Structure 1
Amino acid sequence: MKTEIRFDTDELAKELEKAGDEIVKRAAPTAALYGANVFYQALKAEVPRSIKGHWFSVRGSKKYWFEPGNLLKAMYVGYDKKASKDTLKVYKVGWVHKNAPYGYMVARGTKLETGGVNTPANPFMRRTYQKASAEAVQASADRFMEVAKEVLDGR
């Protein structure tokens, strides 16, 4: 006596490929955003805040007044349409340079040899990356899996 079982995987492979395409299409945008938001929240806690307002100018240019907490207010998370593709969604987290042009000098410090102010670096972006990158990646992965489950469950 002989028993034979045949299992054709062509249809299953087609369904899995279709589901995979749908998962990527639906999950990539929100998964990336979830990770970016984790990083953004951590960054807000790391951004240095001055107690009082301050003037800013570069090499004797016009002086600009900035209120305390201005750098924090200039922080943003935004979608980068240029860098993004169908399966890759890119979000940028940082500060709007126009609103806080001195942010780079805060992060990198200044060393002026012409009698200006020497300011030590406060690498808040690097610190945030080191502290929050693993959590941001996990948030992205968790969101991706949620969407994948929804797609596979037919929702």
Structure 2
Amino acid sequence: MSKLQKFIETKEYKRFAEFCDACIKYKYIGICYGPPGVGKTLSSRYYSNWDFIEKQIAYKGADEIGLNADDQILKARTIFYTAPAVRATKMTDQINLIGSRMNMVRTMYKREEENYTTDAFEDIDLIIVDEIDRLKVQNLEQLRDIYDRNKYCNDIDWNAWY
């Protein structure tokens, strides 16, 4: 979505947001499905504020991390990830990397370097995986492993999947 486009919170989007909120509250693994073009990806990106968060965690070198950060990174509690179309063998590492980058940018923005944690999912309430139909059973097991490892550890209050 470009800066000129505005997202319209439709009835369907509000149902999607309610679904995500329930997944967070009750620690569900949820699946939202529908035909192509109905707005699942746009709704996911909007719900997670990913257009802004992605810019803040994208960097080429360590000296650039947190360079464009603002208050939105401190409020971010959702990871948005699009499953690759070809191979998903590095999926777990990529999701962990996204979480780690969000943590590093938060730390740099707050200037609390001594409180940096290596836990990629600290303060993460929800992980949205888009295009999940591209994944094989093995990859779904990887997602389940992330869920299981973080559901009961470190008092992390997250665990929902799209």
Q: Normalising by the residue count of structure 1, what TM-score does the alignment of the two structures yield?
A: 0.25
- Asked which structure has the greater CA Rg, the reply is 1
Answer 1 or 2: which has greater strand percent: 1
Q: Normalising by the residue count of structure 2, what TM-score does the alignment of the two structures yield?
A: 0.24
